[in-house]
Amino acid sequence: MLNSTATLGVDVGGTRIKWVRWIAGAGIAEQGQLPTPRTGPAGVVEAIGALAGGQQCDAVGVGVPGHLTDDGRGTRMIPNLPGEWAGLRLADQVEERIGHPVVLTNDARAFARAELDHGAARDLANVLFVTLGTGIGGALALNGKILRSRGDAVGELGHMICRPGGRRCGCGAIGCLETVAGGSALVTCARALGSAAETPDDVVRLAESTDGPERGVLLDAAQALGLVLGNVLAYTGVNTVVIGGGVASAFDAMRERVQLALAERSGLIGTAIIRMAELGPIAGALGAAFEAIEYADARLTLPAPGGT
């Protein structure tokens, strides 16, 4: 492990960038958040560079809401952020700016890493993770390890089709779970029915306090989420789900319908257990910080150019 063990974890969300400075042996030293720039990749690079420049750290981990390039140094597809992200060498650009090692990871896999190591799944080996935010992310742990693939693309639960012929998703497909149950979708669907909601929290509040369309929107989202979760649990053989993310508060209003949908599949998947994440909104940033430690350690063990 690095002798000077301060790492910065950054979680780039569709609405906000969360960050945490982690010191091995001491834990969280500082944390915070800021609005995600709407000016495209250049604004995000500038924001991360400014964060890293203002913090004492040896390495930086960045969680992004999408797929990476095969070498893990760039972004290939980021559905919920404005601008052109395909082929952007994000890690290289930030690294050149701050002079410290930078590693990229998918934000949902970063969330899962933190909750598996230190949160709601620390006593589990096999678990499905779900992040409810502007969009919906997913990750899968099998035998105590987060399942990974080239480009960190495994686990895109939010882009499983649940409404054929439905709304077009930011990924280009039609009828993804994200278009029904993601935070942005909750607001869009509610407003299309005459709601005054401006945020997912508004949708939940109005659903609990009025007889407006918000309740139906949440029930529809819950039905879609339950359908997709049941399919994934049936395919993987996992029966525990950990749910978190910036819009996880909406799950309280969905829980009963989701559990009913899962109970209807119990003959195949058994009794599904749902746990809420424990690490709060900084889970993704924490996971990214842990990834940074491993990445920097690996770089330190590489032989020098021309060496043996």
What CATH number should be reported for the domain holding residue 212?
A: 3.30.420.40
Note whether 148 and 17 are same-domain residues. Answer: no
pLDDT at 300: 52
Note whether 83 and 14 are same-domain residues. Answer: yes
Query: Which residue range forms the structural domain that includes residue 201?
Result: 122-277
pLDDT along the chain (308 residues), means of 10: 74 93 91 94 94 88 94 92 93 93 95 97 97 93 93 91 94 95 95 95 93 95 97 96 92 94 96 96 95 78 48
In a domain, 175, yes or no: yes
In a domain, 117, yes or no: no
Residues 114, 284 contacting (CB under 8 angstroms): yes
Say how many CA atoms lie within 13 Å of 262 toward its Cβ: 24
Q: How many domains does the chain have?
A: 2
Note whether 19 and 128 are same-domain residues. Answer: no
Note whether 142 and 247 are same-domain residues. Answer: yes
In a domain, 16, yes or no: yes
pLDDT at 2: 47
- Other CB atoms within a 10 A radius of the CB of residue 18 amount to 25
Which stretches of 149-299 are assigned E, i.e. beta strand? Answer: 240-244, 273-276
Note whether 99 and 34 are same-domain residues. Answer: yes
Note whether 151 and 265 are same-domain residues. Answer: yes
pTM to 2 decimal places: 0.90
pLDDT at 301: 53
Note whether 227 and 288 are same-domain residues. Answer: no
In a domain, 103, yes or no: yes
- Whose tokens are 């709060």? That residue is 280
- Other CB atoms within a 10 A radius of the CB of residue 208 amount to 12
- Whose tokens are 């090692």? That residue is 101
Instruction: Say how far residue 12 (Cα) sits from the centre of its chain.
Output: 9
Note whether 243 and 181 are same-domain residues. Answer: yes
In a domain, 308, yes or no: no
| Distance between CA atoms of residues 262 and 130, nearest Å | 15
